[in-house]
Structure 1
């Protein structure tokens, strides 16, 4: 009996020790230290600008916002009331109503969308000559050719669908009935000075800019070379435990995604999972670009800067289907740790009602295939409460709230000193993180942050202090954090460069 008790106790101790050791292995990897593989499977031109070098007329891609000043009136074209009525030429300075977002049809032909989403065309169903912005759909009758002057590319004439050039007759009469050649002088009512107010360099721009055949070559080469196995090995060897991989909704239709997107990104994602498994790195799949764009920015594959995600039931269901496809494909892969349902939805364009509905359906789609994968729900950016999804997430298992912290993109940070930036992280960011961290609620994740700021002339030691402060505060997030991004032509945005040059120590 004594020997049996001794063996039982010995067995219990061994089991307890093994359990403890298992727990010890899991504890440091549970709070994930991750890096985003940004600019890889969802294009962002600022991360690798050279991708766009071969596109003709590359400053006039989809979503480029142009403003047109009549040389005879010295006034800007404008959509009266923001759209729905006539085009006038009576504004002395350009803003929203005076800006037109391009849809690129060919290298030199475009459709122009105004502030209220209508397209510029001709009155009388395209058969008149007066310029209007009165239709929410577009076709050949809304397609204009931008003719650039050989000596000055900012000096343009615009050929209308009727074959005539647009001219400004008076401040309130803009017509398409100017024929013949031009001397490009300041006395020519068909000449405009074109100002580019905004450009986009995302997935839509690169694929439509090159065209499907050329874009397939460019992007497949990029996917093969931008992130390779050695990069995942580097991640593993430098104190990181996970990668967050942004993907676009079209990946679920690979190898033949809808126009203008091209196939091949799914194979690249498969490769990433294989490498992650080899080097014991976890993977967070992040739906970075949802159909219709959830924020109007280039990294959500927006065509023209408008935000259309969540406006229809079909749109939401299509996104749920993408999440289910991805989860089903990788649910049995031991490297999958989380699925982020959407990245950076922007308030108020994305309504709380639409996002709540989607998060519920997206969560259920993940759970159909995995009971353990964490479901990550992003807080809305803009005028929204970061705690608004706590009730939804708290009622479900293995959920995470994602917040993004940048000391950038606002004039709040413009004049901050080094120490003020550090203080802001230690006070404001700490308070913001605490607000979404509850004892019985979802885990918290700082899904994007970077050791970059508005400070000019900062030393390496300044950057080290700033990075250290962020690591300390964001390290309190109960799920972990992810640096944006692994590789970038801008050094401080590249965690690889920051580590190799001793700006960040993990």
Structure 2
């Protein structure tokens, strides 16, 4: 549910008369338009603001599955978490599905069904930690000409390898991409999220403010408000994210600036 919370938004305003209609008598019912996708980013926007993100298909909250090319079996968090990882399933389900917590463009935490994180154990690779640390951080290394072919580098600098159906370790140093290589997996992305959290987390703290400011400045402008008024509409509805209440310093990875854009709407 924590990921859903990142995507929920509330409306600080449901609708308000545009400045061009404020000097006239308010006539009901209002003729209004919803200005969605401006101050709350959504994945359907065109042109897409997500296209510039490196590994844009591996955004925070995505659900992925890993198929060992050597065994042709899926990586599995036994019992949904709380014990070791194995690679003995011929078809994927909940135990074989991992949710990405994106750290940056290449590094991730892997969360299993029971909300534990995959990490290094004394014997093998386990999903037992309730809080991700350095030990629960993995680099997803993609093959240049086949991005769905990946290897998982653990925090100790070694790759995960499938030694057998019941033994997955993080101690491999090879570099082959052959099917017989025990460290190679085919990754399947079975579900993705595209919202404000994903776009700001995806671009990172340096680039995200630039991308979002450019979007706020260009997606809806004063000319749009003039067009709305000229065509007989008397109100607008502007969805905003809950994080706007803490602007200009919202919790990370959200970036400040959307409140100023909302202020512009009141003056237009």
TM range (shorter): 0.7 to 0.9
The 3-state SS of whatever aligns with 2:145 is coil
Matched, 1:135 2:129: yes
Q: Structure 1-normalised TM-score? A: 0.46
| 1:159-200 C-alpha deviation (Å, 9 max, x unpaired) | 111221111122222111212x22211111111011111222
Contact 1:103 1:110 in 2 (8 A): yes
The structure where helix makes up a greater share of residues is 1
The match for 1:196 is 189
The structure where strand makes up a greater share of residues is 2
Q: Structure 2: which 5+ runs fail to align?
A: 1-24
Contact 2:94 2:113 in 1 (8 A): yes
Shift of residue 239 of structure 1?
Answer: 4.2
Residues in 2 aligned to 1:242 and 1:87: alpha-carbon distance in whole angstroms: 55
Contact 2:33 2:235 in 1 (8 A): yes
Residues in 2 aligned to 1:165 and 1:224: alpha-carbon distance in whole angstroms: 44
The match for 2:207 is 214
Contact 1:101 1:112 in 2 (8 A): yes
Q: Structure 1 segments of 4 or more deviating over 3 A?
A: 237-241
The match for 2:155 is 161
The match for 1:47 is 45
Contact 1:39 1:48 in 2 (8 A): no
Please report the RMSD computed on the Cα atoms of aligned residues, expressed in angstroms: 1.7
The 3-state SS of whatever aligns with 1:217 is helix
The 3-state SS of whatever aligns with 1:52 is coil
Shift of residue 136 of structure 1?
Answer: 1.6
Shift of residue 223 of structure 1?
Answer: 0.4
Distance 1:240 1:143, change over 3 A: same
Residues in 1 aligned to 2:239 and 2:42: alpha-carbon distance in whole angstroms: 11
| 1:305-359 C-alpha deviation (Å, 9 max, x unpaired) | xxxxxxxxxxxxxxxxxxxxxxxxxxxxxxxxxxxxxxxxxxxxxxxxxxxxxxx
Residues in 1 aligned to 2:147 and 2:38: alpha-carbon distance in whole angstroms: 32
Contact 2:104 2:204 in 1 (8 A): no
Matched, 1:258 2:256: no
Contact 1:129 1:177 in 2 (8 A): no
The match for 1:473 is none
Matched, 1:226 2:219: yes
Distance 1:192 1:223, change over 3 A: same
Considering Cα pairs closer than 8 Å and 6+ residues apart, tell me whether 1 or 2 has the greater RCO: 2
Shift of residue 268 of structure 1?
Answer: 0.5
The match for 1:185 is 178
Contact 1:66 1:194 in 2 (8 A): yes
